[in-house]
Each structure stands twice: as structure tokens, then as C-alpha cells.
Amino acid sequence: MKKILFCEKVYSRWLILLIDQFIVTIALAASLMIIQKENFNEIFNNKFFLYLIVYNVITMVVFVSMRIHTGIIRYSSVDDIFRVFKAVLLASLLFEVAAYLFLSSYFGFNNHWFIPMLIINFFISASMLIALRITVKQLFHYLQDLEVVSKEVLLIYGADRSSLLIKQGLDASSENNFEILGFVDDNPDRRNKHIEQKRVYGSHSIQYLKNKYGVEKMIVMEDCINIEGRKLAIEKCMECGIRVISVPASNYWLKGKLRLSQLPDLRIEDLLQREPINMEGENIKAELKGKRILITGAAGSIGSEIVRQVLRCNPQLLILCDQAETPLHEMQLEIEDNFKDSVCELFIVNIQNYGRLKSLFETYRPEIIFHAAALKHVPMMEHNPSEAILTNVMGTKNLADLAIDYDVEKFIMISTDKAVNPTNVMGASKRIAEIYIQSLQNYQTDVVHRTRFITTRFGNVLGSNGSVVPRFRAQIEMGGPVTVTDPNITRYFMTIPEAVQLVLEASVMGKGGEIFIFDMGEPIKILNLAVNMIKLAGFMPYTDIKICFTGLRPGEKLYEELLNKTEKVVPTYHEKIKISNVIYYPYEYVQRNIDELLALNCSNNDKEVVRKMKEIVPEYVSANSTYQSMDVVNVETGDLMDVSVEPGVS
């Protein structure tokens, strides 16, 4: 019986219409019997059958025109039930009109019994049609539930319309291996009340619900308004070992089509994300619209996001420059799918190759450059300093020199907080690149065609290629252990879109020569990050997933800085962006030292190369590195002793 009535087959809409017509026929007869009581002989006469035929014709026309019969009964919603109610009401009114206009001319009838019969019939018909749909829907879900031995018990965060949409979407899902226990909301006006027979619990009840009902997951909406309440509930779930999964905003999915298997686990980025940054998008669009824009490192984490955000500003031409063939090809496919009307050129080139870069400038004549290409992995560069010099220093120099030669309006360099008081080759190489492009700003003599050189400096971005978050996630998926270098290590974190928004804003406000510092919020302890990620995955740290400490890697330090001891900041009109008042190096001094550095780099003598880097960047003191022996420190003061520089101060 179950297989016949409640299989996945959807039965013909005409069969549904036939059943509905049978119901309204029974309802009309019943209502007439109630009115006439003992006068059964007067009921079933020619008049009754005429009424019945007219009423069936009217209801059939109304039901077909309102498409009452086309709905799949097992998925009936409140809207479907309301449509049935309206259809029966309309049919009753039309029947009354037809009776007065046509039937009364041939058959006299008494209003004393006709109008009450019509009212009773309306309620009986509506009730039976609605009861049919509710009964079939409940039986279908009940019989489906019998097939599942064990179910996942879920909670939904929030008790608003968005949360109700989640429940309705999951109820309509083809999956039946879960049970929605209730909602979680700390609003006192909603707590302990019910929504569609599901109770609203406070976040303090999560541990109790876990112990009593075995709650395994909680679902949260991405665009939840109550950020603090959601964070508290997530933290409670993490303490209890309940997995948290994130649902896209309601405008990204169709009602009734939500599938539990498609919902992603909550990302650590969602948990750490600060209040959203409000940017003045119009000034960015005005700056970039109709321009020829070059983006180096366009296939990387930051570069690809710059591509996406710049394309929304309708540039005249976007040149994507990278040496990574496959990622650049994937970027091209993404642009073809999402930005069909854009004009883009892909240029595969290593920025160390001056001749190839010159060909790019000669062909496309870029007006604005976003320079994101760099070698960034600290331990790798510690073992390969010559490559760090070739890409981060010489590559930047190649681009900057060509920018001046081809009258580029703005050159925006993406730097790093590791350039501040660097303890590794990578950070020192980026600091030398900063020094060079700043020195160019004041060296230019042509006031009319001066290129404005701008530097943006920020910390780690969540989810970038090779960053700690994907690494931890992969280790958790393998069952651990999760490796942390030191229990006290901290880092600044920012989401990729947030960082790029600030880069674009800084590019607008920059007049040339500035180093813009972004507000990175509070530093995050990497150990806490690992613990939270393990909890988000539904495991217990140290019990289910081990955490191991491996020691600081070559060139790595416990904490990052956004300013060195001698730098001060100047505020801008944007609260999240400040300008660093850094040491200024004269161009002739910088040019001479970089030429010497590049000449040494050809000798394949890493120690001499690093020694020259320390001379150019006096604050560069190696940490956990073979190059620490080069740092001669005054024991009494803790300062470097053999530093000879010729800088001035801006």
C-alpha cells in the first residue's frame, strides 16, 4: 500500500482534479442534508442534481483556472492551502450568482435554506480539501521516516523568517536522515515558544540538548543579523562538539530546494570575521572606470580577487600578468563565465624578465598597475634567498622602472607586515622593494607625468594559497595531528575580499610615496585557531585530533608587526587605513645598493647576498636561521653595531 500511494511517482493532475470534484460533491450533498434534516425525499430530486451539475462545472472551471490540481500534494505549503481556501470561496460565490440568474427562472428555491446550505458547504468543502492535502503530506513524511533507523538531530540558529525558510527547505528535501529538534535564539520574546511545532531554546540549553537528544549539528544563516548571538551559540556548539554548518543567504537558494548534503561546514573565516568594512565604492569606480589596468600575480589569492573587484568597475582593458599557466587559465575561464562583456588580455611572463615586460608595456600601455606578484613563503625563501631577490626586488624594480618610462599614472605595490623589522629573507626582500619604489617617488623630475608609487602593507589573509587555514583543514580531514609551530605564536588575519577592498581604497587616496597600513584587528593566537577549527569539524582537540608543536621554522618569529620602532602613523579619512611615516632613502643611495645586491646575487653566494640585505635594511635581524651569525649585537643595548646607511627622514 505504501509503495502504491507514497512512492516517488507524482500522479496525474487530472486524477487530483477528479478526487477534488468527488469531495465537493460529497460536501454539497452533506450540507443539503444538514439543512433539510428529515426531508430526504425533497433532497434527491431533479433540482438537487441540477444544482450539483452546475456546482461541479463551476468548481471545475475555478480549480483548473487557479491550478489547484497541479500542486504535488505531498509538498503542499501554507500558500497552497490558502489557494484552496480562495478557490472554494470563489466557487461558492459564483454558484450563488448562477443560482439567482439561471436556476431561479426555472426552479423556485427558498433563500431560507439555500444561503445557509451555501455557507455550510463552503466550510465543509474547504475543510475536506485542506484536510486531504495535510493528511497526505503528513503520511508521506511519516512513512518515509519509517525507513530510517537513525537520524541526525539538528538545531537551527535564529527564530525569524530566515530560520523558518531553512526549516521549510529541509522539510521539503528528498533527504530524510535528519530530524529538526528546534531553534536556538536568546531573544526573551521568542525563547520557549514554538515555531511550526518546534521549540525555541536559549543557547544555554545547547549542552542539555546535546546530552538528552544527541544533537549533532547546528545550522546558521550566513547573513544573520544578530552577530553576537550567533557567535555565542557557535561557541557553545564548539564546546559541546556539535558541528556548525553554514547556509547561504536566502537569495542564493530556492525555497524548497535546500539539501542538507549541500550545506558547507562553517568556515573558520566566518567565525573570525570582524564587522564588515563599509567602503565608498563610487570613488573607486570613478578611479578605475575606463582605464587600462595591469595586475601582476593575477592568478594568486590576492591578485585574482583584485581582478574580480576591478572588473566590477568597468575598466577599458584589464591585463592579467602571471607566470603560473594553469591558475591563469582557470582565471580566464572564471572571467568568461562571470564577466562576459569585459575586455581582458592574459600575459604569461616572469617579472624577472625585463625584455618580456617591456613588450607588455609597449603593447598595452597600462595606466594603473597593481603589483601583487611575489615569492612569499618564509621557509622557502630562507633556503633560496637568490630567488627572493630576483622576484621581489629585481622584478619590482623592472616594473617600477617601466612604469616611469611609459607614464603609468599609479603603481600600487602589495607588501606585507613581514617587511616590518624583518627576521627572514622574504620580509627583508619586500622591505627593499618598498624602499626602492618610495625612492623613485621623489627622484622623478617631470611634475606633469609623475608616476605615483603607493605601497599597501597588511598581514595574513585567510584562505590564501599555502596559508595556515587550508593546512589545518587538510590535517583535520586526515585525522590529525594538527601541527602548530609554537604555542604562543600569533598572527594578524584579514579576509581576502576585505584586504582587496582596502587596497583599492588606498589606491584612490594615495598621492604618491605613502605606505598604507590596514587595521588588522587583534592578533589571533594560532593555537586557538587550530583548536577552534578542530571543534568546528565536530572533534575534540587533543582527544580526537592531536595538536603537535614543531618549533618555529627558519626565519619565523612569534608575532608580526605593522610598524617598526621608528615609524609613526598618520590617520586618513578611512578609519581602517593609516599612513606610515617611514624612513626615506635617497634614490642614488638605494640604486647603488640594489645594483650591488643584484650583482652579488649572480655570484650564487647566499651569505654575501643576505649580508648585503642586512646592510640595506638595518632592522633586519634573522630568527631561527643560519644567517643569525651575521647579526653583531651590542650586548648592553641590544642594538646592531655595524650598520652604515645614508638615509634621510621624510
Region of residue 538 (left: phi > 0; alpha: psi -120 to 50; beta: else):
left
Is residue 418 part of the annotated active site? The answer reads yes
In this structure, are residues 243 and 540 in contact, taking their beta carbons and an 8 Å threshold?
Answer: no
> Across-strand partners of 320?
295, 346
Query: What is the DSSP code string of 533-598?
Result: HHHHTT--BTTTB-EEE--PPTT--SS--SS-TT-EEEE-SSTTEEEEEPEE--HHHHHHHHHHHH
Residue with cell 463552503: 122
Is the Cβ–Cβ distance between 193 and 200 less than 8 Å?
A: yes
In single-letter form, the type of residue at position 459 comes to G
Could you tell me whether strands 482-484 and 198-201 are parallel, antiparallel, or unpaired per DSSP bridges? unpaired
Cell numbers of 266, please? 562553517
Q: What does 358-427 look like in DSSP terms, one character per residue?
A: HHHHHHH--SEEEE------HHHHHH-HHHHIIIIIIIHHHHHHHHHHTT-SEEEEEEEGGGSS--SHHH
Task: Give residue for cell 618569529.
Answer: 557
Q: How many CB atoms lie within 10 A of CB 449?
A: 11
Answer yes or no: are the C-beta atoms of 535 and 241 closer than 8 Å.
Answer: yes
Cα–Cα dist 134/22, whole Å: 18
Number of CB atoms found within 10 A of residue 534's CB:
25
CB 485 within 8 A of CB 553: yes
Rounded CA-CA distance 167/13 in Å is: 27
Q: Which residues pair with 194 in a beta bridge?
A: 199
**Spatial contact of 256 and 168, defined as CB atoms under 8 Å apart:** yes
Count other Cβ atoms within 10 Å, centred on residue 482.
23
Pick the catalytic residue: 210, 217, 410, 418?
Answer: 418
Measuring CA to CA, which residue among 18, 80, 432, 477 is closest to residue 255?
80
Cβ density class 38-61: b for 16+ within 10 Å, e for less: eeeeeeeeeeeeebbebbbebbbe
Q: Which residues pair with 545 in a beta bridge?
A: 541
What is the DSSP annotation of 456-517?
EEE-EEET-TT-HHHHHHHHHHTT-PEEES-TT-EE-EEEHHHHHHHHHHHHHH--SS-EEE
Place of cell 450568482: 97
288 vs 314: CA distance, rounded Å: 7
CA angle, corner 642, sides to 637 and 647, nearest 5? 100
Residue with cell 522539510: 171
Amino acid at 367: E
Torsion of CA 162, 163, 167, 173, to 10 degrees: 50
Q: Look up residue 430 and give its amino acid.
A: K
CB 209 within 8 A of CB 183: no
Assign 35 to helix, strand or coil. helix
218/206 Cα distance (integer angstroms): 10
Active-site residue list: 418
